[in-house]
Amino acid sequence: MGRKRGLTVMIFLLVGLLVAGAGLAFLVVRPGLDDKLKAANVEWIPLRQALNARYDDLATTNSALAAIGGPERTVTRELSAKLKIWDNLMLRPATNENAGAEARLANKLEALARRARANVAANPKLSADSAVIAGFGAFDSQVLPNNRVDRYNKAATTYEKSRKAFLNSIVGEIFGLENLPVLRLGT
């Protein structure tokens, strides 16, 4: 009977140590992850306004493409849908929760802009249209300060490296901390 009791006590102690260790991990790990996420968000906020101006010009370009016969094109439809989502995100305040969503969407918009540009380059009718040319010219002129993009990307990379560390990844998974992509601009 003494052995069973000793084994039971050892099991309770082991479970207690695991619970205490998990609690300590949450107390130590979570604040560090939150700090890194907040630092990335602080760097993201100034980019929102500049990206919004850039995507306003992309919307103008997309409207010009649709007017000249591009509404049936997949890229034109996709751009319209993603630009509507962007507009809705811009109505919300900047928070840690939507900085990642905004950065992911910005990357999708940049990729769609490259696809649209390739379509225009491959189509003589589209590439000769003055509204399309002006639209892409305005879009291209909305250049974000590289130091701002670099600062956000560095903060996002630092957060991601920390979030992917073994113990941090467990805590991040439990608290639902999503990934934070770097911003990939391209013209």
- What gap in Å lies between CA 47 and CA 50, rounded to an integer? 5
> Whole-angstrom Cα distance, residue 11 to residue 110?
55
pTM: 0.81
pLDDT for residue 88: 93
Q: Which of 116, 121, 101, 118 is nearest to 51 (CA)?
A: 101
Reply yes or no on whether the pLDDT at 54 is more than 60: yes
Q: What is the pLDDT of residues 155-169, one digit of tens each?
A: 999 999 988 887 777
What is residue 12's predicted lDDT score, i.e. its pLDDT? 79
pLDDT band for 28, please (50, 70, 90 cuts). Answer: low
Question: Token pair 């928070």 is at which residue?
Answer: 95
pLDDT over 70 percentage in the chain:
90
- The answer on pLDDT for 182 being more than 60 is yes
- The whole-angstrom separation of Cα 24 and Cα 132 is 58
Domain ranges of the chain: 37-175
Q: Are 99 and 44 in contact (CB under 8 A)?
A: yes
Let me know: does 116 contact 79? Beta carbons within 8 Å. yes
The pLDDT assigned to 82 comes to 97
User: How far lies 79's CA from each of 40, 72, 93, 118, 182, in Å?
Assistant: 27, 12, 23, 14, 21
Residues in the chain: 187
What SS3 class is residue 145? coil
Phi/psi for 186 (5° steps) reads: -165, 140
